Structure formats: structure tokens, C-alpha cells
């Protein structure tokens, strides 16, 4: 009796796909947010970088994160190197914890993502504090919304990578 089983495997990730996702994240960060939405705005670039640093640490690491951070600094017209420093710390945390994070389900990953993003936001806030002498507490709301973005992003990217194969 021949029965075919359907198994799911993940397609390999191309560098073009990674680059396109980072460009889309940079464009989303550049949208004109204002009012309450500006305080709640997630850092799309940070979430996408963290995703690729944990799922593809051999392709996306500290160097690429620094480069994307410089592009984010230019696009945001902020102090040169502010995003670059934050994204470099984020990438380091993502690469170091990549194996550990992939062992957990999305719910448990979200707590670790929150901690990494909180450290990233803290580095950015420290630079802001050095320049202006204050950091509004509402700044860290973006850390919460960025963490909430982790699950949908992971689900969408994994569903794009899944491929069904029939085996005997």
C-alpha cells in the first residue's frame, strides 16, 4: 500500500530577498508619522534586522547592520551614527542568541526580542540624552510595538518560505 505523506520544508533564503525586506523596512520607517502614531511607531528596520540576524546570522550580521544604520541615520536626518550604533548592538545580540532563539516558539522568542530591542532603544536614548539632556518615557512605547511586530513578521516570512513536498 503506497501512501504519500506531505511534508513541509523551508526554501533557502536568497540575499536578494533579505535586501528587499531591508529596503521595505527602511521605507516604512520613513513614512510621515505624527501625534500618537509617532510615539507608537515600531522600528521596522530593527525588527527586520533582528529577524535576519537570528535566522540567517551567516549573511546578516554586525557589518550590514551598521551600514543599514547609517542609511537610517541619513533617512531620519538624526545624529550621524545614532542608528548605526543601536543596530550594531542589536545585530550582536541577535547573532549571539540566534541558536537559542530558534529553539523557542514565537511566544518565548518575543520576550527575548523585547529585551534585545529594549537594549537597542536604550542605546539610542542614551545618545539622545547626551545631546538634549532628556528622554521622554513615551519613547520606549516604540519598543513595545516593535516587539508586537515580531510574531506577524515571523509568521509571514516563514509562510513565504514553506514548500510542501510529497513523499512515500
C-alpha cell recorded at residue 130: 547626551
pTM for the model: 0.88
The residues near 74 (Cβ < 8 Å, ≥ 6 apart) are 80
> Which of 5-19, 45-59, 133-147 has maximum average pLDDT?
45-59
> How much is the CA Rg of the chain, to the nearest whole Å?
18
| 9 has pLDDT over 70 | yes
pLDDT exceeds 80 at position 7: no
Q: Average the pLDDT over 78-86 and give the result.
A: 87
Query: Structural domain tally of the chain?
Result: 1
Name the region of 133 (left: φ>0; alpha: ψ -120 to 50; beta: rest).
left
Most confident among 11-15, 103-107, 160-164 (mean pLDDT): 103-107
pLDDT score at 135: 84
Containing domain of residue 53, as a range?
5-167
Q: Which three cell numbers stand for residue 8?
A: 513541509
pLDDT reported for residue 6: 66
Is residue 2 within 8 A of residue 152, CB to CB? The reply is no
| Rounded Cα gap, residues 145 and 131, in angstroms | 25
Domain with residue 68: its CATH number is: 1.10.1760
pLDDT value at residue 76: 81
- Could you give phi then psi for residue 13, rounded to 5 degrees? -95, 130
Cα 150 to Cα 53: distance, rounded to the nearest angstrom:
13
Amino acid at each position: 500500500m503506497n501512501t504519500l505523506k506531505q511534508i513541509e520544508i523551508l526554501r533557502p533564503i536568497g540575499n536578494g530577498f533579505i535586501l528587499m525586506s531591508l529596503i521595505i523596512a527602511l521605507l516604512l520607517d520613513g513614512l510621515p508619522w505624527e501625534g500618537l502614531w509617532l510615539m507608537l511607531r515600531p522600528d521596522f528596520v530593527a525588527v527586520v534586522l533582528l529577524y535576519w540576524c537570528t535566522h540567517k546570522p551567516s549573511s546578516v550580521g554586525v557589518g550590514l547592520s551598521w551600514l543599514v544604520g547609517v542609511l537610517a541615520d541619513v533617512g531620519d536626518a538624526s545624529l550621524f551614527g545614532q542608528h548605526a550604533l543601536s543596530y550594531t548592538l542589536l545585530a550582536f545580540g541577535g547573532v549571539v542568541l540566534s541558536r537559542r532563539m530558534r529553539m523557542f516558539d514565537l511566544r518565548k522568542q518575543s520576550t527575548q526580542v523585547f529585551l534585545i530591542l529594549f537594549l537597542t532603544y536604550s542605546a539610542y536614548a542614551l545618545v539622545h540624552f547626551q545631546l538634549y539632556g532628556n528622554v521622554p518615557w513615551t519613547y520606549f512605547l516604540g519598543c513595545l510595538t516593535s516587539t508586537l511586530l515580531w510574531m506577524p513578521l515571523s509568521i509571514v516570512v516563514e509562510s513565504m518560505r514553506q514548500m510542501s513536498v510529497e513523499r512515500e
